[in-house]
Amino acid sequence: MKIVFLDAATLGGDADLSPISGLGELILYNETHKDQVVDRSMGADVLIVNKIVINERILKPLSPTLKLICVSATGTNNIDHNAADRYGVAVRNAKDYSTESVAQVTFASLLSLINHIPIFDSAVKSGAYSRSPHFSFHQVSFGELKGQTFGIIGMGNIGRRVAQIAKVFGCHIYYYSTSVTNHCKEYEALTLQQLLATCDIISIHAPLNDRTKNLLTLNELTLMKRSAILINMGRGGIVNEADLAQALNNGVLAGAVVDVYEREPVRDDHPLLHLKEPNKIVTTPHIGWASRQARKSLIEKIAENISQELL
């Protein structure tokens, strides 16, 4: 069995791919340009891709041998599912591998923002604290999560885990279901407008689809408390990024945490990189999913998908 991984570098250089290589001949490419996809994939039984687009143009010449596309992620919006069905190619994703990783980065970033950790760290390392006549440092102040209202957009496995952790901190939990099905009975469901107006912290853990594209524009952001914080750990494109920058610059909301972007990697001129007050935001490079343990689990799930479909 010939297995071709077209963008293996997306899993990091330390990834152990032996669970997959043990299933057949594994051919690795760190990156693949769209014009190279067909040539590199000819004769493959299995294609593994993360972000590479697989459409009708690519599937047609590969269809004589290609049996399975494994997406090394949960979202499969880069695959033309209708074309795959026509050519009899199965598409499998990896689910529930990153729940703990995303939840951990969510709170690591949030706590860094609200506790002003970069500012306090700089105060010590720059010598400002050494020059202070006081034993503590009060140039900025921070509050506690306890008693805050914590809203979650997208109450899937990750959203539920974030809710559990927020509850341990003493937060009051509400959620909005992007599928319009209030399936979680453990917490109170609100409309999107109610959630935005009610919550001190709003954390997004939803997929990008027709219902969530541009879900939060400036119109929605203005419904939030001016003291509120917005977290996007879902997908770029759910929040209009130019509008978010405008909201932060104009004091419409107090802060934001962003791990995902509409275009990745971001350009140097991205509006979130040029805020009037950079300390209002904590940005991470789409890394929430990528703990060592999560990537190990992802690789194992890809191997499991191959085994179940073809062996």
pLDDT in tens, 47-62: 999 999 999 999 999 9
Angle of helix 99-114 versus helix 117-125 axis, rounded to 10: 60
List of domains in the chain: 2-95+292-310 (3.40.50.720), 99-283 (3.40.50.720)
Residue-averaged pLDDT of the chain:
97
Residue 25: active-site member: no
Complete edge-to-edge strand list for the sheet that includes strand 46-49? 25-28, 2-5, 46-49, 68-71, 90-92
Q: Left, alpha or beta for 286 (phi > 0: left; psi -120 to 50: alpha)?
A: left
Q: What is the pLDDT of residues 232-243, one digit of tens each?
A: 999 999 999 999
- Give the pLDDT score at 77: 87
Phi, psi of 8 (to 5 degrees): -65, -25
Q: What is the pLDDT of residues 50-93, one digit of tens each?
A: 999 999 999 999 999 999 999 999 989 899 999 999 999 999 99
Assess contact for 113 and 255: CB atoms under 8 A: yes
Residue 181 neighbours by CB under 8 Å, 6+ apart? none
Percent residues over pLDDT 70 in the chain: 100
The model's pTM is 0.94
- DSSP letter at 36 equals G
Identity of the amino acid at 14: D
Q: What is the pLDDT of residues 223-282, one digit of tens each?
A: 999 999 999 999 999 999 999 999 999 999 999 999 999 999 999 999 999 999 999 999
pLDDT over 90 at 146, yes or no: yes
Active-site residue, selected from the candidate residues 160, 205, 235, 295:
235
192 versus 183: the higher-pLDDT residue is 192
Active-site residue, selected from the candidate residues 264, 274, 277, 292:
264
Residue 235: active-site member: yes
What single string gives the DSSP state of each residue in 239-280? Answer: B-HHHHHHHHHTTSSSEEEE---SSSSPPTT-GGGS-SSGGG
Active-site residue, selected from the candidate residues 116, 161, 270, 286:
286
Percent residues over pLDDT 90 in the chain: 96
- Give the pLDDT score at 168: 98
SS (H, E, C) 176-198: ECCCCCCCCCCCEECCHHHHHHH
